[in-house]
Structure 1
Amino acid sequence: MSERITPHKLVSIAYTIRDSRGDIVEHSELPISYIHGLNDEQLFPKIERALDGLSVDERAEVHLLASEAFGERDPDLTFTDQIENAPEELRFVGAELDAESDSGEVLHFRVTHINGDEITIDANHPLAGEDVTFVVRVTEVRDPTLEEIVEIGDTVVH
């Protein structure tokens, strides 16, 4: 019999994210591993609760409101400037750049719009403001090794 997901088990999952229209916006068969029940924000809490008690090859489908997932859109994270002020390598829609804020937080910026000589850059998560549905498939459940406990710490292992 396959092990069930309980606190302190190492769990590996594959997932699909669908937007509010049902379109697939992200899919990964590459397992993401975490230690269940640490409450360390490796997974959205509602997803972790839905996985509780499942075993390998079982699935959970979890609907998250924008506020439970990637947050609401923050207009202060979007700005428009003259395109001449942007480096050449960022002068196309879809260009991405990571930059550190004054507080030391790393923000991920995307060019979302170019209109004539103006460029719009957005640091909101691409799914901010969107309700989403995660379809999560359990690929592994087992006791973690000491090395995995140390390695995983506060991060997700890929």
Structure 2
Amino acid sequence: MSVTRSILSHMNIVLEDGSTADSTKASGKPAKLNIGDQTLSPAFEAEIVNLNEGDKHSFTLAPADAFGESNPDAIHYLDRSKFPADMELQAGVIVSFAGPGGSEIPGIVREVAGDSVTVDLNHPLAGHSVTFELEVVQVL
């Protein structure tokens, strides 16, 4: 399916505990959301398909409809020698790996135990229900 329309929208992504995980207002750059190109989940598209300029809309999506479920296959146990010797590895540190075509794949260090480093390549919001707070700036 091709893009049927696009929406420029300021967006807050709010976690279950009420904290804001991300906000386009901080950067001053609204997000472009394409409806119909399959980059958004069907549940997300259903929430925004009828929005117009000036509309404000808030909705909560389950993990499967937002950033996906946490995939245990995306958690890797690597030897400390795979990282630069001067890299400080501790839980919460984001590390980058080379992906296909020169892309970068971010991973979060979950645990360091001796020479074993646990790295999670899931999206940081995978496995979480999230609330999207949208304010439509423009319909394209």
What interval of TM-score do these two structures reach, taking the shorter chain for normalisation?
A: 0.7 to 0.9
| Change over 3 Å in CA distance of 1:89–1:14 after alignment to 2 | farther
Letter in 1 for 2:108: R
Picking from 55, 74, 93, the partner of 2:71 is: 74
Distance, in Å, in 2 between the alignment partners of 1:78 and 1:23 is: 25
Question: Does the Cα contact within 8 Å between 2:111 and 2:118 map onto a contact in 1?
Answer: yes
Structure 1: gaps spanning 5 or more residues: 1-6, 143-158
Distance, in Å, in 1 between the alignment partners of 2:67 and 2:86 is: 27
Question: Does the Cα contact within 8 Å between 1:83 and 1:119 map onto a contact in 2?
Answer: yes
Determine whether 1:137 maps to 2:123: no
- Once the two structures are superposed, residues 5-28 of structure 1 have per-residue CA deviations (whole angstroms, 9 ceiling, x without a partner) of xx8444201111111222211111
- Taking structure 2 as the reference length, the TM-score comes to 0.77
Picking from 10, 13, 20, the partner of 1:17 is: 13
Q: What is residue 99 of structure 1 aligned with on the other side?
A: 98
Structure 2: gaps spanning 5 or more residues: none
Distance, in Å, in 1 between the alignment partners of 2:70 and 2:49 is: 30
SS in 2 for 1:49: helix
Q: State the Cα distance separating 1:42 from its structure 2 match.
A: 3.1
Q: What is residue 4 of structure 1 aligned with on the other side?
A: none
Q: State the Cα distance separating 1:98 from its structure 2 match.
A: 3.4
Q: What is residue 37 of structure 2 aligned with on the other side?
A: 40
SS in 1 for 2:52: coil
Q: What is residue 30 of structure 2 aligned with on the other side?
A: 31
Distance, in Å, in 1 between the alignment partners of 2:107 and 2:80 is: 15
- Taking structure 1 as the reference length, the TM-score comes to 0.70
Q: State the Cα distance separating 1:106 from its structure 2 match.
A: 6.1
| Change over 3 Å in CA distance of 1:11–1:97 after alignment to 2 | same
Give the percent of matched residue pairs that are identical in Structure 1 and Structure 2: 26
Picking from 70, 78, 83, the partner of 2:80 is: 83
